Chain A
Amino acid sequence: MDESLEQSKEIKKVTQWHLAKRSFQRHWQLYILMMLPVLYFIIFKYVPMLGAVIAFKDYNVVQGIIESPWVGWKHFENFFNNPVAWDLIKNTLFLSLYQLAVTFPLPILLALALNEIRDGIFKRFVQMFTYAPYFISTVVIVSMIILMLSPRTGIVNNLMEAVGLDAVNFLGQTEMFRSIFVWSDAWQITGYSAIIYLAALAGVDKQQYEAAKIDGASRLQKIWNVDIPAIMPTIVIILILSVGNLMAIGFEKVYLLQNPLNLGTSEILQTYVYKMGIINADFSFATAVGFFNSIINLILLIIVNAIAKKVSGNGLW
């Protein structure tokens, strides 16, 4: 038995080698062409991964990444000994969980609702207008928010004053920041995010609908028993990906929405990394904070993937 196993391994090795050789002979030009994108990934993705070691060093420009002295966990200790650290972690988690709770279910609802109505002008209109905000830039979205919520000239305060309410400086309040961020995000991406669910719904076998009709199922029952199971794998994948990105929430937008008055809730780990690293040039410390952020993300992804696999049988790997 063992001998034949050895033999088959040997054969496999030979065929592998043979396949590789044939592939190189046949596609050598493609391999050469591919070196460019491969180089891109090495330089701009893999080198920074290795460069993250400066989190454990005292990086200075003169000595560079390799020569700079090792300092172990110093920067991590400095970070966690700073009372700000816990505020940052709390702000990041609250903001991202709030965002997930709103922007994850809304596209599913929209897709299910669109799937119920007949193809026609109304449906096309809804789709066209709900996708549109996705194409607007972050800078413009934030500008729109600032203009419309402005305490003196904004439309929202004007309307509020017209009905006798007092003007509110929405962006200057710590307790309003999260809602402004999350709901403006929902406004921007719900339509676009629904596309993937609509695609999954389009793939449902029509016979299942017929069968449901014959059984006398109501629309709601049909959604519950046919539609939702059909898009479940998509839902699970999207959920995993969203959780995997939990700590990487739209930080470019958070940064633009920040002002000195709302920093109490709007300062998150990544904006802090940017300020410490790029503005204060404290590279090693900022890398340590960023590294911590990435690790949390990775752990969350692994956990949620494991849970999803156990519960639904679907996972990323």
Chain B
Amino acid sequence: MSSKNGTIKESYNDRLFLTLIYIFLSVLMIVILYPLVYIVSASISSPEAVTSGQVWLWPVDFSLEGYIEVFNNSDVIRGFRNSILYTIGYTLIAVFLTVIFAYPLSRKNFYGKTFFMIFILLTMLFYGGLIPEYLVVQKLGMLDTPWAILIPKAMAVWQIIIARTFFYTSIPEELVEASEMDGCSSIRFLWHVVIPLSKPIIAVLALMYAVFQWNSYFDAMIFLRTEDLFPLQLELREILITQSESGANQDIAEQQKRQQLANLMQYSLIVVSSIPVLIIYPFAQKYFVKGMLLGSVKG
């Protein structure tokens, strides 16, 4: 496959090729950014401007009516509060379980670690199915309680593998042996040495679990009945997807105004619900990348 072309022509081709790459990446970036910019612009424009299609890139007739509508909606506020509680509770449980499972699996002389690895990897291959999982949650009496959100998805195999790889590479066996010489128990060692040394991986796990929980709606939809327990995503589904198809019969002018405002509120709601994720995005981006890289290294 050696090149037969002259060097001058080749560098011309290379430059052309590089230009094409820049064009490709720029187009891709615009395609990805456009919907995001549009949603934010629409959310801070006036209801009329949005419905009549005047907004296509930048805000028109700056207005915060949509946001006022969002913050006056008690369902949204309640959902927001529930989601924060679920996310914190779930993240604590999930990180705790993942650490106490992944750490032993990373120790060289821990007998049975291959067995336990196969034990968890098999769950990736064989899946009981939606209905049997539902029946287990039902049997445990968790239906329509916060536990149904906090417990059934409390661990993910991928996260265990990432954590194990981290412990394996950054907690040397010599350290364990030294602590044992000093008569330090395994649990104390885990608490006082391993955890302080593992802040980066704990951040990775916490972010991954937190984003997952904040964004999920499906478990809440099948397990919860009481509206007081609904997380934000389920309220969003109610307002953004289910309701948008139906229209109420009222005075036409009044209805049109309500409709416009309801329509506008949807844009604002999208922005508001994504704010927590946007706040952590700079950290998340860095840590998610780190997590992906750890996961791809075979331990």
A32-63 with Cβ < 8 A to chain B? 33-34, 36-38, 40-41, 43-52, 54
Contact of A40 among B35, B97, B111, B215 (CB under 8 A): B97
Interchain CB contact under 8 A, B53 and A155: yes
Give A155 to B5 CA distance when docked, in angstroms. 49
* 0/1 interface trace, chain A 229-256, chain B, CB 8 Å (1 if under): 0000010000000000000100010011
A288-303 with Cβ < 8 A to chain B? 290-291, 293-294, 297-298, 301
List A contacts of B132 (CB < 8 A): 47-52, 54, 287
Contact of A277 among B56, B100, B131 (CB under 8 A): B131
Chain B contact-residue range equals: 35 or more
Q: Which residue of B lies closest to A45 (CB)?
A: B123
A1-44 with Cβ < 8 A to chain B? 19-20, 22-24, 26-31, 33-34, 36-38, 40-41, 43-44
Interchain CB contact under 8 A, B33 and A129: yes
Residue A283, interface by CB 8 Å: yes
Interchain CB contact under 8 A, B110 and A30: yes
Interchain CB contact under 8 A, B3 and A216: yes
Q: Which residue of A lies closest to B50 (CB)?
A: A153
Chain A proximity of B107: nearest CB distance (Å): 7
List A contacts of B258 (CB < 8 A): none
Q: Which residue of A lies closest to B236 (CB)?
A: A139
Give A200 to B31 CA distance when docked, in angstroms. 26
List A contacts of B197 (CB < 8 A): none
List B contacts of A290 (CB < 8 A): 129-131
Chain B proximity of A20: nearest CB distance (Å): 4
B1-30 with Cβ < 8 A to chain A? 1-3, 5, 7, 10, 13-14, 17-18, 21-22, 24-25, 28-29
List A contacts of B263 (CB < 8 A): 147, 153
Give A297 to B185 CA distance when docked, in angstroms. 45
Interchain CB contact under 8 A, B109 and A41: no
Interchain CB contact under 8 A, B289 and A195: yes
List B contacts of A161 (CB < 8 A): 53
Interchain CB contact under 8 A, B130 and A274: yes
List B contacts of A217 (CB < 8 A): 1-3
Give A307 to B51 CA distance when docked, in angstroms. 53
- Assuming A37-B100, A49-B126, what are 20 further A-B pairs, CB within 8 angstroms? A27-B104, A40-B155, A48-B128, A49-B132, A117-B25, A126-B29, A132-B281, A133-B32, A136-B215, A136-B277, A137-B217, A138-B217, A143-B236, A148-B38, A153-B51, A153-B263, A217-B3, A259-B245, A290-B130, A298-B126
